[in-house]
Amino acid sequence: MTGFDIRTVNLAALNSLTKYPSIPTYHQLDPRNGSLTDEVTVFTGTVHGTEKVDGTNSRVILLPDGSYLLGSREELLYARGDLIGNPALGIVANLRPFADTLTAPDGRIRVLYLELYGGRIGGQAKQYSARGATGWRLFDVAEFTEDDFADKLDWPPATISAWREDQGQWFLGEDELTATGLELVPRLFRIDGSALPSGIAEMNTFLGEHLPATLVALDDSGLGGPEGIVLRSGDRSVIAKARFQDYARTLKRRK
């Protein structure tokens, strides 16, 4: 690698640069009580709907020298060749064989964001398997050039965090994601942004119509309840999530 040396790099900065940013809810949340408000995320043009899988956010960070790092949403857990890895959430055990098969594009750092689910991961694991099976699905990929990444490693922590949450990372668009050939979260629909419901009750109905049950059950023992839908523009410049529990809770309170 010419941009930086993984053996001496600031791992805290690398971790922050590659964390997955927060995704807003389609209807904004009221921070006072957790209910949804009537303000919606505005989409124009084609909107892609994908299943939001309820598991744990995981990262595979591919580096140009052939090395890689595995991480949860918050911390790095393993580097290729380590004798010992952090066993948190089963990320290393489940994703290391997959990561061993991957390489970064020439001269670039590629970060794969996957949802690891099932097993004992989260309170809704039995929706996918009551027998303890686990699986993963890719939901996003970010890329950096070596030089750009190396420059940002010198930024102060607060600057990196603000840049990340202000959509500073560059993500693959819908067509580029499909071209990776990796197993993606299920694609549900493509519609024009003007067709998305603006009301709370209407959006709750919309969710049930487009995702009545999960499409990623790991075996026939899963209970089948879905978490929700992620809405995104083709180039991922606009993205939002709509979760069944948020709409159910809000409608119950409004009654």
For residue range 218-253, list pLDDT tens digits in order: 999 999 999 999 999 999 999 999 999 999 999 999
Contacts of 141 by beta carbon, 8 Å cutoff, 6+ apart: 110, 111, 112, 113, 171, 172, 176, 177, 180
**Quick one: tokens of 175?**
């067509």
Q: How confident is the model at residue 1 (pLDDT cuts 50, 70, 90)?
A: very low
If 0-12 CB within 10 Å is exposed, 13-18 middle and 19+ buried, where does residue 6 land? middle
E strand segments, 97-133:
108-118
How many Cβ atoms from other residues are within 10 Å of residue 213's Cβ?
11
**Quick one: tokens of 138?**
């890719």
For residue range 6-27, list pLDDT tens digits in order: 777 889 999 999 999 999 999 9
Mean pLDDT for the stretch of residues 47-70: 95
Q: What is this structure's pTM?
A: 0.94
E strand segments, the chain:
27-29, 36-40, 46-52, 56-62, 68-72, 76-79, 108-118, 134-145, 170-171, 187-192, 228-233, 239-243
pLDDT at 73 over 80: yes
Degrees (nearest 5) of the Cα angle 7, 13, 15? 85
The residue behind tokens 């994908």 is 50
The crossing angle, in degrees rounded to 10, of helices 200-210 and 244-254 is 140
